[in-house]
Structure formats: C-alpha cells, structure tokens
Structure 1
C-alpha cells in the first residue's frame, strides 16, 4: 500500500490552487473583452439616434456627420496611447495592476459621460466634453488589453491557449448582441422623439451607467480573485524579467512588432469593411433593409460569431496559428470578396438569403480574431509582451480607420459600389502576407 507524504499533499494543493488561479485569470479576460467592446459600441448604438442633443440645432447635415463621427474615432485614437502607457505598467509593475488601473479608469470615465449635460444647458462645451471623455476612455480601454489578455494567456496551458484565445474574443460579439438588446429595450421604454424626449434627456444615460457599473465590478473581481501572472514574476527561473522598452524597438522584437503591425493592418481593414461599413453602407443604403431588419441580421451574425470564434481558436491550435491566419487572409480575399460582391448586387433577394450570406461573410472575414490574441502574445518575450501585444493590436487600427477615404480614391478607377470589395481583397492580402512573414508559435514556451 502506497503511503501519502506531506509533500504529495502539498503538490496536490498547489495544483488545485494553480487551476483556480488559471480559471480566474481566464474569466477575467473574457469579462474584460466583453466590457471593453460594450463600452466601444455605446456611442455607435446608444448615442446614434440623438447626438444632436450635444450639438446646435442649426448645424448642417455634413458638419453634423463629421462631428458625430469624431465621437467614435477619438476613442480609437486613444487606444494606441493607452496600449503604450499601460503596456509599460503591465510589463514593469504587473499584469494585474495594469488591469485594475485601466478597468477602474474607464469605469469612472464612462460614468462621467453619463452625467454630461446637453447643448441647451452648457452649449458646445457639451459636445467637446463628450469627445474628450471618449478619448480618455479610449486610453483606458486600450490599456485593458495589455493587462488582462496577456495575463490569461500566460496562465493558460500550452495545449489550451488556442481555446482560451477563442473564448476571450467571443466576448466581442456577445457584447454587441447584448448592447443591441439593451438599445431595443431603451428605445421601447423611451421613444426617441427629438432632443426634448425622455430618451434624449436621460434614457441614453442608463446604458452608460450600466457600463460603468460592470467595469467597477470587473475591477473588484481582479482585486479579489485574480493573482499576478507567475510567468511575469519569473517564478520558473527565479530571475526578474528584463522590461526595458528599448527591447521592443531593437533586434528581433522590432522585427516581430513590424510583422504584427503589417498583419494587423490587413485584418483591421477587413474588419472595418465588414463590421462598420457593411451595416449602413450596404444593408441599409444598398439593400434598403429596415433598421429592425438590419439589427436582427447583425445580431444573428454576431451570435454565430460567438461560436465560430471558439471553433477557430481550437482549429488554430490544431493546424497552427500561422497557417490559420494566412488561410483566413486568403479566404477573405477570395471567398469573402465574392460574398460581399453578391451582397452588393442582392437587391430583391429574400431576407433569409441575405442573413445567410452576412453570417458566412462574418465567419470568413472575422474568424482570425479568435487566433490573433494568442498569436501576438506568443510573438513577444515576457518582459515586453504586454507592450508588444498592446501596441501591435491597437496601433495598427489607425491606418484602416480611414477606409472611407480609400473607397473614395478607388472610386476614381472603379464603380464606387465595388470599392469595399477591392478594399476587402487588399486587406485580406496584406493580412495573409503579414502572417506568412512570421513563424509558427503554437508550441513556444512563454
């Protein structure tokens, strides 16, 4: 009969504790992605019907459209800055500290947005307060990626990193579905009827308060439940990590960063076409779907994406992340472009066919994101992983953000309605080339 020693009992206890820490870190990353995307889409969905509440009544339609777009763009521009600031915090002070600080920050800022008075109360200062706070919000949101996601990947077992990456990114479409459901409830309870309506005055504030509350609960979760990454602490070697920022812009790390930036520029371009241009530019304006039909179509597509992200993450774990990413880039350039071309010319088609094609396009062009989180974290050494991930993920969004200008330029050599198809091809090709320039990472040790 085998005797059980005290050391055996301690080993079992340590293993149980490690599993608990792993689950807590992964849950925190999934919630962080969900809340981040919830906050990103708040102005796009919740404020879209009543941004005139922050602007003067005599503003022309063109100027109003520009000012309204700045509310979303400034959030995106704040993200790279947040990635740099909080990436350094995550690499030098710890992933957990960066997560708590960034999440607490956008909880406070989101609540402040919910309290902004309208134009009738404080004039144009109302609009500029909204823009400035969304920019600051973007900084904190960009910082959220640099702590929570690397921490979860570092806690994950090597053979499960693909699944973990898929689960984390599933928080993105889940947030989109939830915020649309919330918007539909708000619109039903507080009908939008001009700047004097209940929705314009205070109904829109409720989702922002909920967003702030969720962020505060997430910060509390990290304080109470999530432990610092053992990989970052260097427990395996007993040596502190080299976190010098110069490592990221010199030698191999610089080459890694440039490769990631190239690949991500392609994937952000394809994502902007499918995620931002498709809803209004094609579903509403070209196919003339009603707002309710468009919302229902997108909600179904994003629900499907929740499951396809998990599947794509697992498939990338099996066949390799480099192969998976380059394959998705190639499929986007061919199959995805064909599906988008079909949609552009689908006027008169039944709604079920349109829904099916939109779902297929979303899966084809967007599945890469389930692999991206894990892949980028595996491309950088521990001492600069958070900064490398944050910068590679967020800085690459800037050039693709001006996709509308690129479509106008392409309209000089082709019909305007096919310009998004050309951009989808270009984005997929750039992503494919960028992925092929990097190595396979699924077997690397973090």
Structure 2
C-alpha cells in the first residue's frame, strides 16, 4: 500500500526539502574542503615539521587521503541504515559527526606540543570526517530527488549539489580573510584554527533546519509495502554489481579526479610552485565557484529537458579536451591565467555534478538507493583522495604531464561507463530480483 500524507504531517514541498538538504550539505562540504585547503597550506608545517617542505606536504596530503578511504565505509554504513530506517535520521547523524570532527581539529595540539600524537589525532578526525561525508551525500540527494516530481528531478537534485560550490567558496573566503589580514606567523600560530571552530555554528543551524523535514514518500512507500531490505549492501552487490561498478567509474572520471586536481592540487601548485599570490589564488577559487553555482542549477534544469546522459557525455569530452591545456595555462604564471584554468576544468566538472543525483537515483530501486549510490560514488573517492598525494610526488621528477594523463584516463573510463550504464540493464536486473524502480 502506497504512503499518503495524513493531517498530522507538516506541509512539505520539493523546494523546501531540497533547500534543507542543501543547507546541511554546505556545512558538510565546508568542513571537508577546509581540511583539504589547510592541508595544502599549513598542515605540513604544523603536524609534520621534521620533514622537508615537500615531504611534509606529502604527509599532510596522506592524512587528506585517509578521509577518502573512509568515505566508502561511510557509504556502506549510512546506506545500510538509510535504506532500513530512513534518510532523515542518517542525515542528522552525518551532520553531527562531521561538525564534531571539524570542531575537534580546531582544538588539536600541534607537533610542537605532543609530537607524533598530533598527527595521529589529526588522522583520526579526518577519518570521521570521511565517514560522515560518505554517508551524507547519498542521503541528501535522495531527500531532494525523491520529493521532486519525476520531470523535475534534475533541477531539484542540482539544488543540493550547489552545497558543494557554496561550501567550497565559504571555506575559501574564511581562509582568505584570515590569511590576508593576519601575518604568516599569526596564521600559523592560531588563525588557521578559527575556521574549524566556526563550523559548530553551521552544525547547529543545519540541525535546526533538517529536523523540520519529514521522511521521503519513496521510503515510506517501501515501508508500507514491507519491502525493507534486510542487508541492503548484500542485495546491491548480488543483484546490481555492474551498476555499482559503472556508478563508481562515472563518479571517478567525472567528479573525483578532476575535482581534486583543480580545487586542491591547483592551490598547492599555484602558490608553492608557481609562487603566485596566495590571497589572489584563493579569491579566484571563491569567485569562480560562485559563478559556477548558477551553472549547476542551469545544467540541472536543462537535464530535465534533454536528459542526463547527454550532459554527462559532453562534460566528459570537455574534461578530456582540457586535461593537458589546463597546466599549459597555469604555467603562464599569472593570477588571471590561474583563474582561467579554474574555469576550464571547473565548468565541465560542476555541470556533470549537477545531474548526478537524478542520474544515479534512477539506476537503483527505491529500497536500495541509499546503499547503491553511496557505495558506487564513494568507492571512487579512494582514488580521488590520492590525487594530491600522487601529483605532489610526481611533480618534482616528471613535471605535470602524469597528472594530465591521470585526468584523461579516468575521464575515458567514466565516459565508457556512462555509455554502458543504461536503464535496460537495470530493468533486466530488477525483473530478476523482483524489486521495483520508481
């Protein structure tokens, strides 16, 4: 029996649900990006000072990668309970876990105070950040997509996705302000901590907003029909293995590798290697991402008219086309060209990001969606988290061409997965398993 609202249900609209999901997602991505930027800028000096400058940065990026190893675990854990007890509960849990971990980082003693234990504690906090984000994304996009009318899923899914650009811009603004107005010594001494401590305010605000959103009709329909999966991850891997693999490859080539190339490694490369002004580079990150926020919503709306796959295919081709020119433009060693490089790779990246919620949700049945999209997408982040580490390691010996090759190869894999991933495959598998696709 399908779920129908009762008189006691609080009125809920797709816009309200998408906005509530987006607000919490801003905070989640703010926290995750804040760590990535700080790892590139100061963590090597504060937590790994006994190494050389490059080795310290490598060690710092290694702790960054820990978060990406943890994200698939978060996807499995939160996906399991999200498909069993609901999306809303998991979103609240992930928000508290992310906010608490980020706040704790702002309080950590450095290597100068407690030695190697500082790095250990930093790594633990990063691990819990990864668990939280691994569970956050799948639930947030499902809240929006499952409340949206079928012909508007692309648009409402894209509203959640702008949480990434806004979170990235916000994290950069805060770091920009403190690095600009404080001396280098003051920033290293205490200024870097404040952005982490401020996350507690956003966590409380996000909780207040998310507590007012009810569970999705799709999940309530599953409950009413008695179709709750006992072991969602087992059913996903048994009945939809190809879809999970294709989802991971799409996410890897379209999002993970390009993202950490342009928004994390670029920050290190432009400031530490090309010696461009740090404040101007960070300002470019803010302005470009604010501009592309509107592009995300436009792409989401367009996908409801022409389909998700055409946008993903075009976006992948564009990423392949700029994989090598990206560094050629950066190597012109001027801030304006660094901004141009951000636009070159950032635009197709965020265009594809816009349509993924609706695209991925359509690949899995209702009772397995949280687990399916979380497992597939977050598995891809293991490779993505290694991008800054790989890029920093190969740069002194081979220059930038191996990084461009990595972007190119992963984009080709992602494009191949997009072409292979089709509704016919899902329909065949769902007929075999007896589950329904909304």
**TM-score tier (shorter):** 0.7 to 0.9
Provide the C-alpha distance between the structure 1 equivalents of 2:104 and 2:385, rounded to a whole number of angstroms.
26
Provide the C-alpha distance between the structure 1 equivalents of 2:77 and 2:280, rounded to a whole number of angstroms.
41
Provide the alpha-carbon RMSD of the alignment: 3.2
Kept after mapping to 2: 8 A contact 1:269/1:427 = yes
Query: 1:386 aligns to what?
Result: 370
Kept after mapping to 1: 8 A contact 2:49/2:111 = no
Answer yes or no: is 1:183 the counterpart of 2:175.
yes
Once the 2 structures are TM-superposed, how far is the Cα of residue 38 of structure 1 from its aligned partner?
A: 0.3
Query: 2:430 aligns to what?
Result: none
Kept after mapping to 1: 8 A contact 2:48/2:60 = no
Once the 2 structures are TM-superposed, how far is the Cα of residue 52 of structure 1 from its aligned partner?
A: 5.5
Once the 2 structures are TM-superposed, how far is the Cα of residue 273 of structure 1 from its aligned partner?
A: 2.5
Q: Give the one of 204, 207, 212 matched to 2:192.
A: 204
Q: Give the one of 229, 233, 255 matched to 2:242.
A: 255
Query: 1:343 aligns to what?
Result: 329
Kept after mapping to 2: 8 A contact 1:49/1:192 = no
Q: Give the one of 379, 395, 407 matched to 1:395.
A: 379
> What stretches of structure 2 of length at least 5 have no aligned partner?
425-435
Answer yes or no: is 1:129 the counterpart of 2:106.
no
Once the 2 structures are TM-superposed, how far is the Cα of residue 287 of structure 1 from its aligned partner?
A: 5.3
Once the 2 structures are TM-superposed, how far is the Cα of residue 320 of structure 1 from its aligned partner?
A: 1.0
Provide the C-alpha distance between the structure 2 equivalents of 1:114 and 1:266, rounded to a whole number of angstroms.
33
Larger Rg: 1
Q: Aligned runs of 1:134-153 on 2, under 5 Å?
A: 134-153=126-145
Q: Aligned runs of 1:295-310 on 2, under 5 Å?
A: 295-310=282-297
Once the 2 structures are TM-superposed, how far is the Cα of residue 410 of structure 1 from its aligned partner?
A: 9.1
Kept after mapping to 1: 8 A contact 2:21/2:140 = yes
Once the 2 structures are TM-superposed, how far is the Cα of residue 14 of structure 1 from its aligned partner?
A: 6.9
The 1:343–1:15 alpha-carbon spacing in structure 2 relative to 1, beyond 3 Å, is farther
The 1:60–1:370 alpha-carbon spacing in structure 2 relative to 1, beyond 3 Å, is same
Provide the C-alpha distance between the structure 1 equivalents of 2:312 and 2:348, rounded to a whole number of angstroms.
11
Answer yes or no: is 1:274 the counterpart of 2:269.
no
Once the 2 structures are TM-superposed, how far is the Cα of residue 177 of structure 1 from its aligned partner?
A: 1.4
Q: Say which is worse superposed, 401-410 or 130-139, in terms of deviation.
A: 401-410
TM-score, normalised via structure 1 length: 0.84
Cα deviations by residue, 1:417-443 (Å, 9 ceiling, x for unpaired):
3333333322221121111111259xx
Q: Give the one of 401, 418, 423 matched to 2:406.
A: 423
Provide the C-alpha distance between the structure 2 equivalents of 1:161 and 1:18, rounded to a whole number of angstroms.
22
The 1:103–1:157 alpha-carbon spacing in structure 2 relative to 1, beyond 3 Å, is same
Query: 1:55 aligns to what?
Result: 47
The 1:355–1:184 alpha-carbon spacing in structure 2 relative to 1, beyond 3 Å, is closer
Answer yes or no: is 1:436 the counterpart of 2:400.
no
Kept after mapping to 2: 8 A contact 1:90/1:146 = no
